[in-house]
Chains A and B, each alone.
Chain A
Amino acid sequence: MKLHRIWGVILRYNYLFKHSLDRQVDAFYWPTVDLVLWGITSTYLAQQSKSIPFAVLMVVSGIVLWIILWRGQYEFTVNILEDMWNKNLINMFASPLKLSEWIAAFITLGIVKASVSVSFAALMAFILYKVNLFSYGFMLLPYLFLLLMTGWWVGLFVGGLIVRFGGKVQNFAWSMVFLIAPFSAIYYPLAALPGWAQKVALFVPSSYVFEGARQAILHGTINGLDIGMAFCLNVLYLIFAFFFFKKSFKKVLQKGLVKLY
């Protein structure tokens, strides 16, 4: 892997971000809308019923943490789409750029942009609801990393679908990640899910992360088993998603990069 090539790809997407209102809106506007809408809703519910004492904290922290996962996959899927729409993939892959370097650039972008988006959302949460997620400091770090990992495999998998099937499935870039959202128990405890959904959630790494992060935020304890399970599942899915992506790319080379839209 050559760092200069990874940096070249990062530059390309950063220039795009600088010029594209769509991409900026995705980074800042939608997280704010989510925070305002769901924050107000949970505040209202908490005022109505004292039986959900930490409703605001649970919902707001859920929104902020979900941004990490979402952002991690977004950097793969939407940037691949951008290059498809721009017919730019041939410029990239008729150069010495390797597939692994392209992926490394997405991962780096995911880390940087998730940090920016999460910091922004956490700041908004503090301003709007006095929920200070920064105060949990290092305790949340492993969960943040695990969510990024989930974002990466979702991104690789959906990216593989987009590369394989082109513009026909471009909507997956934004929507597919929400398939795992209900099973991730983002805003509610896992126990709130029906029995069958709880069984599905066992195979969704983010369900362990949100449960664990909630426990850390509400009770100040870290569950090593949750972290271990989420990590193992993430590694397994990452390996599968990587090979799927690689295979999809190989397949599209049989069709030709110019014909990919």
Chain B
Amino acid sequence: MEILQAKNLKKSFGSFAAVDDVSFALKEGEILGFLGPNGAGKTTTIQMLLGALTPSSGDVFYFGKNLNHHREEILEEVNFSSTYTNLPWDLTVWENLRFISYLYKIENRKKRVEEIIEIFKLKELRKQRIQELSAGQVTRVNVAKAFINYPKVLLLDEPTASLDPDVASYIREFILKERKQFKVSIVFTSHNMAEVEELCDRVIFINHGKIISDDTPENLARTIEVCHIELLVPKDLEKLKHYCESEHLKYKMAGKHITIDIKEKVIPAFLNALAGQKIDYLEISIEKPTLEDYFLRNSAKI
């Protein structure tokens, strides 16, 4: 079942098209990664999905209902966390969660706020004002706030930015648990490609406001043909360098290590050639293309 549908979303600021004809759907329990370089249109799209920005044209549907006409009913089931927004900095963590809990239909608000404080390990911070917290702690409170209303759809805009690795990992685990347990559907943006690969079932790559691709992280990475081969070459490094240059292969040197960019399908022929040229190596590691390679190629190209 499609939980969220964006249909032909467009947003222009004057002559600049921030989002240009973006359409996609999110299924129940799906985690959809939204990737793209800075200024690609990710945050603008998320704002439109929240009703916090009016599209120039196009529509947003949740549970088959138009956000424009069923705003109150829909937003009861949706929440978000973004690095681009703040919580009132004069209020304590507990006060923020408490007042926000009243904006939603929640049965036992007091209990829910305590649960959220417990889940996100905010006990020690509960009496601290937002302005007294570190960037990572603020991010944690922001993510905690997003779960307060038991949302069916979550829009998480860089939710783990500036978090310590252990906290980020804990939050990723929590997101996966929530998805498994309650079939929460999530739109997720991040600049951490490993995180996107770990969490997302599907990735939409957006640039200059347009969707460039929409596929699984594995399939997107597969579109990059170039692998990285790292070799430890104790004696024949110069010979290997010359060979790479003659074959127009890109390489990087670091001590006795050399990393060569090469298409996956020609790796066997390359290794045979090394044997033929009597170039000895002690260690070899082959790094397959990742989502990060895809991101780098597409961000640079466009």
**With A94-B75, A258-B52 in contact, do A88 and B87 touch (Cβ < 8 Å)?**
yes
Q: Counting CB contacts under 8 A, is A222 at the interface?
A: no
Contacting residues, chain A, for B284 (C-beta < 8 A) = none
> Is chain A's binding surface mostly helix, strand, loop or mixed?
helix
Which residues 99-144 of B have a CB within 8 angstroms of A? 99-105, 129
The residue on A at minimum CB distance from B84 is: A258
Contacting residues, chain B, for A86 (C-beta < 8 A) = 86-90
Q: Which of B42-50, B203-211, B220-228, B250-258 contacts A (4 or more CB under 8 A)?
A: B42-50
**With A5-B102, A95-B100 in contact, do A16 and B85 touch (Cβ < 8 Å)?**
no
Contact with B along A224-261 (1 / 0, CB 8 A): 00000000000000000000000000100111111000
A141 to B53, CA, bound (A): 43
Closest Cβ of chain B: how far from A188's Cβ, in Å?
40
Which residues 190-214 of A have a CB within 8 angstroms of B? none
The residue on A at minimum CB distance from B86 is: A87
Listed by A's residue number, 7 A-B pairs whose Cβ atoms lie within 8 Å are A4-B105, A15-B95, A16-B90, A86-B89, A90-B50, A91-B100, A253-B54
The residue on B at minimum CB distance from A11 is: B99
B86 touches A12 (CB 8 A): no
B43 touches A96 (CB 8 A): no
B72 touches A96 (CB 8 A): yes
Contacting residues, chain B, for A97 (C-beta < 8 A) = 103
Closest Cβ of chain A: how far from B157's Cβ, in Å?
10
The 10 lowest CB-CB distance pairs between A and B, nearest first, are: A8-B102, A95-B103, A256-B53, A94-B50, A12-B99, A87-B86, A11-B99, A257-B52, A15-B95, A96-B72
A95's partner among B13, B53, B73, B75 (CB-CB below 8 A) is: B75
The residue on A at minimum CB distance from B88 is: A86
Q: Counting CB contacts under 8 A, is B76 at the interface?
A: yes
A254 to B13, CA, bound (A): 9
Known interface pairs A94-B80, A257-B47; 8 further A-B residue pairs with C-beta atoms within 8 A, sorted by A's residue number? A4-B105, A15-B91, A19-B129, A20-B90, A88-B88, A91-B145, A94-B52, A258-B85
The residue on A at minimum CB distance from B47 is: A256
Contacting residues, chain B, for A4 (C-beta < 8 A) = 102, 105
Contacting residues, chain A, for B80 (C-beta < 8 A) = 94
Closest Cβ of chain A: how far from B69's Cβ, in Å?
14
B residues contacting A by CB (< 8 A) are: 13, 43-44, 47, 50-54, 71-73, 75-76, 78-80, 82, 84-92, 95, 98-105, 129, 145
The residue on A at minimum CB distance from B51 is: A94
Please give the number of chain A residues whose Cβ is less than 8 angstroms from any Cβ of chain B in the complex.
Answer: 33
**With A11-B99, A19-B91, A258-B84 in contact, do A96 and B76 touch (Cβ < 8 Å)?**
yes
The residue on A at minimum CB distance from B76 is: A96
Closest Cβ of chain B: how far from A82's Cβ, in Å?
7
Closest Cβ of chain A: how far from B43's Cβ, in Å?
7
The residue on B at minimum CB distance from A22 is: B90
Q: Counting CB contacts under 8 A, is A113 at the interface?
A: no
B98 touches A11 (CB 8 A): yes
A91 touches B102 (CB 8 A): no
The residue on B at minimum CB distance from A97 is: B103
A86 to B92, CA, bound (A): 14
Identify which of B51, B78, B79 gathers the most chain A CB atoms within 10 Å of its CB: B51
Contacting residues, chain A, for B84 (C-beta < 8 A) = 87, 258
A232 to B35, CA, bound (A): 56
B75 touches A96 (CB 8 A): yes
Q: Counting CB contacts under 8 A, is A44 at the interface?
A: no
**With A86-B86, A256-B47 in contact, do A93 and B52 touch (Cβ < 8 Å)?**
yes
A180 to B92, CA, bound (A): 38
Contacting residues, chain B, for A83 (C-beta < 8 A) = 88
Contacting residues, chain B, for A87 (C-beta < 8 A) = 84-86
Q: Counting CB contacts under 8 A, is A92 at the interface?
A: yes
Which residues 128-142 of A have a CB within 8 angstroms of B? none
Contacting residues, chain A, for B100 (C-beta < 8 A) = 8, 91, 95
Closest Cβ of chain A: how far from B152's Cβ, in Å?
14
